[in-house]
Structure formats: C-alpha cells, structure tokens
Structure 1
Amino acid sequence: MNTLQKPSARRLIQLLRSQGPVSRLKLADLLDVQPSTVTRIVNQLLDDGLVVEEADPNRAGRRGYPSKLLQLRPMGLLSAGVFIDPERYYTCIVNALGEVLSEETSSITDRGFSQLMELIGASVDRQTRQLGLQPDRFIGCGISYPGQHTSKPGIVRQTQYFSEWPEIDASKDFAPYFDMPVHQLNDAKCACLAELLFGSCRSVRNFNYVWLSHGIGGAAVIDQSLYLGKSASAAEFGGLFPKSQPRPSGSDLLATIKEAGLAADNLEHISKADLQHESILNWVDRVEQQLKWLSLVITRTMSPDAIVLGGRLPDAIFSELIERLSASKSLGEDHFGPHPTFIRAEADKKPHLGAAALPLYLTTSPNAG
C-alpha cells in the first residue's frame, strides 16, 4: 500500500471514485499530466491490486486497438464500520466501492464503555471470519457516534447520550477491541464522508451536510476534502440552535410526539398516521423556517454548490423539507442570488457505512490525514 502514500496516486483513486471507469488517456487529461506519468502510477496500482483494467464494452466489435478502462478493484481495499446511537449499534464490512459485504445490528442494553465495546468488537470479528478474511486485509475500522472533540487532539468529550462513558482518547481507548487500526469521527462527519465517497456527492466539489438525528450535526466539504477546522468542530450546526429552545432535531420531534399523546417512542416507530397529526405538521413548518435560516447562513459564509440533508428523521419529513427549500425563491431578506442545490442524502439509512468510509477516506483522499 506504499503507493497510496503518494498524492498523485490518491488523486487518481479519487477520480476513479467520482468519475467511474476511465481510460488512461482521459485520466491524463483530468490530472493535467503526461500519459507516461499516468502509466507509471497505474502500473503501481495494478501491482498493488487496487485497480483493474478491462476492455471498454462500448468498443466491442470495433476496429483498431480496443480501449481499456480503469476502475477500482472492489476487494482491493476493505474497511469495517461501527455506528453507535443511543438505542442501537450497527457494524459492517465494506469494500472499496462502498458495497456492504456484511452487517449486523443489535439493541443496546448496557451503555457502559467496556461492555459495549466488547460486543461491538466481537461483532466485527465475527463478520470478518464469516467472510473468510483476515484482519490484516483491512485498512482500518471507523467508529462514529454523537459527540464532539475537545480542544485536546483526539479527545472526545462526554455527551448526554453516552453519559456513562469517560472522555475518550480515540487514538488509544478503542484499539484493544479491534484487530486493525481504528479511527473515530462523530456521526455527522462520517455520514458526510459516505455521501462524498459513495453517495449523492461523489462529483460535487463543495457542499455542506446538515445531519438531523437525535441531535443536530454538520460537515463541510471543500474541493472534495472534508474540512474539520480546529478540534474537528467545523460546521457543527447544532450549536446554532440552543437546547433551551425548540430545535430541528429528532429529540425535539419525539418530545413533540409525546406532548401530542402519540405512541412513537423512537424515530423508527413514527408512523405515517403520526406524520399527519396537526402537531407534527406544525413542527415541519417550524423546522422549514429554521433550516431556511441555517441555509442562508451557510450560503452567505460558504457559498457551496449544494446543501445535503440527511439523518435519522422519517423519509417523508426529509422529502417535504427538500421540496420546500428547493422551491424557495429566496432564503432570506436581501438574498437575491441563486441558492445552493438541496440534495437528499443517499447513504444515511446505513450510518455504519459512513463510519466505514472514514478509513477509506483517510487512506485514499489527496488532502486527508
């Protein structure tokens, strides 16, 4: 894997991920380098088993030398992913294309750190063995859960969702439970990586991600690279909505449901009938205005190509919000320019895929690390 330490090889991998199968000549054009440079990089990646080169099916039967297309080799890179929310944990094994080879989920009965990590580590190990793989085939395991880093590098502060946990040193505390390198970012940042690598934003250069789950999170991508800022806290949009006030969050939605006397006690149990209740319709109206304001702030400060909405809220709510925001002629007073494209996230229904995207991003993206 030494080839992937070279920025030029990472740029090539990034292009194959965003463009799909591409010829060597096209890669030279996209990278603005000589064809001989592409040949040298490609030969190294072929030797490492990271890419494959096959005949272009669109040229079958034509005269002349058949064009060949390069693409990522699915099993060339493997990653594990762990997502933990207040009620369940999810684990998976994925390949270089983001295809889920195996996955498990289980409810959480004991939120103690050691007890929970033992179960999660066993889940990843079990799936690895069932697939006939060895841990050394993996570039790493990504872990995501709600939370933010402190001012100390790598230290994750305690959250209300996991109050039983101590402050976590991500570089040390997870390692004993996994037989591979471990990386950690919060749920919103990892969800954003899933869209960047495998989902709706593979070819979008600049975008912001708004993550609406039990809480509110976010992420920013600039020139196809995740921008973390100081203490990995860039684009943490939840801080713009005080917890003492109504918020566009899943916890706020559940509180509204409870106040209305409806039965749903978690986000997965919200029914179609619940969504038609007057209190929920009013909640959506209010959240539309909150997200319009947030979108104006994002547009004024970042001017992204797109704003992505994703998370654990019901699909019907996301669809309605995307439709309303997209139809808005203006995001606010004195806003006259075109607003970003509003996009529904594609990968958020498998939040563990976002966690698995983290090691792949760190290993293959030109500006990661």
Structure 2
Amino acid sequence: MRAHNERLVLTLIRQVGPLAKAEIARLTGLSAQTVSVIMRGLEADGLLKKGEPVRGKVGQPSVPMNLAGDGAYFLGLKVGRRSLDLILTDFRGHVEGRVSVTHRYPDPDNVIAFANESIEILLGKLSATQRARVAGLGIAIPFRLHDWAQPLGVAQEDMADWQDRDIAADIADRWDFPVYLRNDASAACGAELVFGDKNRPRDFLYFFIGFFVGGGMVLDNTLYTGRTGNAAALGSIPIGIEGAKVRQLVDVASLITLEQMVIAAGGQSEMIWSTPQAWQLDEQVLEPWMQRAVDGLAYAILSATCLIDFEAVMIDGWLPEAVRSRIVQRTRERLEEIGVAGIDVPEIRPGTIGHDARALGAASLPLSDRFLVDRNAFLKA
C-alpha cells in the first residue's frame, strides 16, 4: 500500500506540477499524516525536492514539492526505418544525452549492436550514484517490420529476421535493468501523457507523422493500445475506395511519400532523416505533399470522430516546427471547409513533444512501470 501511495503522489505531481502537502491530501483523499510520511520518504529517496515557500496566506507558508531531476534516469531507443536514436533522460524528462545514426533499413543485429554501444557511451557519462538510478530501457519500434521490405526499397530477405527476433530480450541479456517494448506510434502518444502539456484534454486522438504516419488514442487520460498493442493504427484508415483498391492515410501523410517526391524532383532526401532542423525542401515539392497530407488527416479525423467523440486531436511528427504548424493550421481550415452534419469537429492542436516523441515515449515505459499509476483509478478530484 505504501508503494502504491508513493506512486500516486509521484503521478499527481508529474501531472499537475509542484504541490504542497495539503493540496496533495485534498486531491488524493489521503490523510495529512499519511501524505507527510510519504513526502518525507520520497524526499529521502531523492525523488522529490522542496521548492521555495509560498507566503502571503494565513498561517505557515506552504512548501511545494517537485520532482527531483536526478531522482532517476531512463533510456529510450527509437528504432526507425531510416534512423536510430538512443536517449538518456532524467526524472523530469530532460534529455541528458543522445546517440543517433541513419541507415538504409533496420537490421536486428545492427540495432542491438547500436543499442549496446550507445548505452555504454551514455552510462559512461554518469557518476556511480547516477548509474545506480537508471531504471530501465524502453524501445519504440514499428511492429511487423518484416512486412515493410518493399516500401524501404530492400529485398524481402533483408527484413526476414525481424519476424522471429526479440531484440528486447537480446538487449536485456547484456544489462542489469529491465527492458520494455512498444509500438513506436503508441510510444510517441505515451510521451504526451507522461511529459507533455499538463493542460491537455482527457480524451484525444494523436497522429505522429514519421516514415509512415501512425498514432495513438487516449481515453480518460489512459493510453489505449488494444488487444495486440496496435490500437489506433491510424495510418491504415481508408480515405478512399475505388473498386477493390483502397487508398489509406499512410499513402499521403507519410514521410516516405515526401522522400519519393524529393527524389523525383532531383533532390537529395537524406536530410529528411538526419534531423528535422536540417530540412531544406523546395516549396514546389513540400506544398503538394502537405496538401495531400492535410486532406488525408482531415478525412481520418472525421472518420474517427464519428466513432469516438474526441475532445481534441494532436498532430506531431518528425517535422520542423514550422512545417508542423502549417499542417495543424491547414487541417483546422480543411475541417471547417468540409463540415459534416451530426458531429462536432474536435479541437486540432500541435503535439507538445516534437520529433523526439518516439524516443521519449520509449523512455517513459520504464518510468511508468516503476513510478506511476493510472491517476483516474485513484484520484477523487
């Protein structure tokens, strides 16, 4: 019970921000004495730290408690179809270190080697005390990678090893901390829950534009991943049917489509994958891709909203911030232009994490497992 209550307090402070003991007692329904004991224990464990006293009210000044950045550390590995990223974050989600590499396609042996070498590099930058506070590694990876040889432009045998390979188990054999794995788009959505804007709605649909567009679904502040862990596979949403041929969102709102358009125009596509800050795209290529992506997103949002009455939709991706802003604004405008009788169009917002969402979502997996609870099941307010 004590462990549960500690998780409850840590979850509340992460979701709401710095809080005094009296406010925590009010929000959780725990007694003031119980909260005091919990707070002292978490502070002694290095997970919480005192803020500046808040004066100006009757009685003793209240002292808000906040998460201690050095209270714990987490590793997050993003396995992308064109790149790999491994990050080290502190307890508050600040990225303390990063190792990145681009590739033509992901190979299991190379991914495992990259992960082990990069972990060694990042842990080498920590003190012995900090190293002891590393709580685990999360992996964000596209599911069923063995099915994607053709879009990657490689032979089927190049991707065949993914069908039976468990890279989480292989990496875990090397280290003394747990390793977790989740679909990459769902992990990106999870980053919004753990590290994102505290003023987000309780229910929202989330799109992440990467090599392929994907997403996640949050209901009552909980990431819903479904029976197979692949719920809200938004890239697969049909946006048009002609005879037996189905056109899907993935066909128009994915970066692989943009890459193909850049190459067809005689440009170099490598800069798309190194970092979004490196993008230098001809507007005559970017504009038509963006228009098709916006049309597809609007169609997918309307279809999803007919099923679940989302309060908001968040759009993020491996994108420069300016490009993401244009996509968000034009999706709003397109939805207003279309109009569908019988449904209320949700608010369209930009994601608050950015291009690191998949890696940060991966890092959030050990954090959530070790330190958090589903706050809706336990908070009274």
Q: Deviations over 1:62-112 (max 9, x none)?
A: 884221111112111211111122332211211110011111212347843
- Does residue 76 (structure 1) correspond to residue 80 (structure 2)? The answer is no
Runs of 4+ in 1 over 6 A off after TM superposition: 269-273
Read off the aligned partner of 1:101 and give its amino acid letter: E
Given that 2:108 and 2:167 are in contact with CA atoms closer than 8 Å, whether structure 1 keeps it comes out as: no
Give the Cα–Cα distance (whole angstroms) in 1 for the partners of residues 279 and 134 of structure 2: 41
Moved more, 94-103 or 328-337: 328-337
- Which among 46, 50, 71 is matched to residue 49 of structure 1? 46
- Which among 248, 267, 285 is matched to residue 253 of structure 2? 248
Aligned partner of 1:31 in structure 2 is 28
Given that 1:83 and 1:89 are in contact with CA atoms closer than 8 Å, whether structure 2 keeps it comes out as: yes
SS in 2 for 1:172: helix
Give structure 2 stretches of 5+ with no counterpart: 153-157, 239-245, 376-381
Mapping 1:247-286, distance limit 5 Å: 247-265=252-270, 267-268=272-273, 274-277=281-284, 279-286=285-292
Give the Cα–Cα distance (whole angstroms) in 1 for the partners of residues 326 and 93 of structure 2: 28
Residue 229 of structure 1 and its aligned partner are, at CA, apart by 0.8
Go from structure 1 to structure 2 and tell me whether the alpha carbon gap of 1:219 and 1:9 turns closer, same or farther (over 3 Å shift).
same
- Which among 90, 109, 129 is matched to residue 95 of structure 1? 90
Go from structure 1 to structure 2 and tell me whether the alpha carbon gap of 1:83 and 1:24 turns closer, same or farther (over 3 Å shift).
same
Give the Cα–Cα distance (whole angstroms) in 2 for the partners of residues 273 and 171 of structure 1: 36
Q: Deviations over 1:198-221 (max 9, x none)?
A: 123564322221111111211112
Aligned partner of 1:151 in structure 2 is none
For these two proteins, the number of residue pairs brought into alignment is: 354
- Does residue 237 (structure 1) correspond to residue 234 (structure 2)? The answer is yes
Give the Cα–Cα distance (whole angstroms) in 1 for the partners of residues 328 and 105 of structure 2: 37
Read off the aligned partner of 2:283 and give its amino acid letter: Q
- Which among 186, 190, 194 is matched to residue 187 of structure 2? 190
- Does residue 300 (structure 1) correspond to residue 306 (structure 2)? The answer is yes
Give the Cα–Cα distance (whole angstroms) in 1 for the partners of residues 259 and 42 of structure 2: 49
Mapping 1:219-368, distance limit 5 Å: 219-241=216-238, 246-265=251-270, 267-268=272-273, 274-277=281-284, 279-327=285-333, 328-329=335-336, 332-337=339-344, 339-350=345-356, 351-367=358-374
Give the Cα–Cα distance (whole angstroms) in 2 for the partners of residues 119 and 236 of structure 1: 28
Given that 1:205 and 1:223 are in contact with CA atoms closer than 8 Å, whether structure 2 keeps it comes out as: yes
Given that 1:254 and 1:267 are in contact with CA atoms closer than 8 Å, whether structure 2 keeps it comes out as: yes
Given that 2:79 and 2:106 are in contact with CA atoms closer than 8 Å, whether structure 1 keeps it comes out as: no
Go from structure 1 to structure 2 and tell me whether the alpha carbon gap of 1:112 and 1:321 turns closer, same or farther (over 3 Å shift).
closer
Go from structure 1 to structure 2 and tell me whether the alpha carbon gap of 1:293 and 1:110 turns closer, same or farther (over 3 Å shift).
closer
- Which among 114, 123, 135 is matched to residue 119 of structure 1? 114
Residue 275 of structure 1 and its aligned partner are, at CA, apart by 4.4
Q: Deviations over 1:343-368 (max 9, x none)?
A: 21232322422221221122233139
Residue 274 of structure 1 and its aligned partner are, at CA, apart by 3.1
- Which among 131, 147, 150 is matched to residue 143 of structure 2? 147
Give the Cα–Cα distance (whole angstroms) in 2 for the partners of residues 364 and 340 of structure 1: 32
Residue 276 of structure 1 and its aligned partner are, at CA, apart by 1.6
Give the Cα–Cα distance (whole angstroms) in 1 for the partners of residues 199 and 122 of structure 2: 28
Given that 2:50 and 2:65 are in contact with CA atoms closer than 8 Å, whether structure 1 keeps it comes out as: yes
Read off the aligned partner of 1:49 and give its amino acid letter: G
Q: Percent identity?
A: 24
Given that 2:82 and 2:273 are in contact with CA atoms closer than 8 Å, whether structure 1 keeps it comes out as: no
Give the Cα–Cα distance (whole angstroms) in 2 for the partners of residues 141 and 213 of structure 1: 22
Q: Deviations over 1:240-259 (max 9, x none)?
A: 14578832111112222233
Aligned partner of 2:172 in structure 1 is 175
Go from structure 1 to structure 2 and tell me whether the alpha carbon gap of 1:158 and 1:132 turns closer, same or farther (over 3 Å shift).
farther
SS in 1 for 2:294: helix
Given that 1:93 and 1:127 are in contact with CA atoms closer than 8 Å, whether structure 2 keeps it comes out as: yes
Go from structure 1 to structure 2 and tell me whether the alpha carbon gap of 1:69 and 1:102 turns closer, same or farther (over 3 Å shift).
same
Read off the aligned partner of 2:327 and give its amino acid letter: L
Given that 1:51 and 1:72 are in contact with CA atoms closer than 8 Å, whether structure 2 keeps it comes out as: yes
Residue 42 of structure 1 and its aligned partner are, at CA, apart by 2.4
Given that 1:50 and 1:72 are in contact with CA atoms closer than 8 Å, whether structure 2 keeps it comes out as: yes
Give the Cα–Cα distance (whole angstroms) in 1 for the partners of residues 317 and 190 of structure 2: 13
Read off the aligned partner of 1:264 and give its amino acid letter: S
Give structure 1 stretches of 5+ with no counterpart: 149-155
Residue 124 of structure 1 and its aligned partner are, at CA, apart by 0.9
Higher helix proportion: 2
Give the Cα–Cα distance (whole angstroms) in 2 for the partners of residues 356 and 79 of structure 1: 5
Q: Deviations over 1:11-42 (max 9, x none)?
A: 32122112111111111222234323423432
Q: Deviations over 1:122-144 (max 9, x none)?
A: 21122112222465422110111
Give the Cα–Cα distance (whole angstroms) in 2 for the partners of residues 110 and 146 of structure 1: 12
The root-mean-square deviation of aligned C-alpha atoms, in Å, is: 2.9
Residue 175 of structure 1 and its aligned partner are, at CA, apart by 1.4
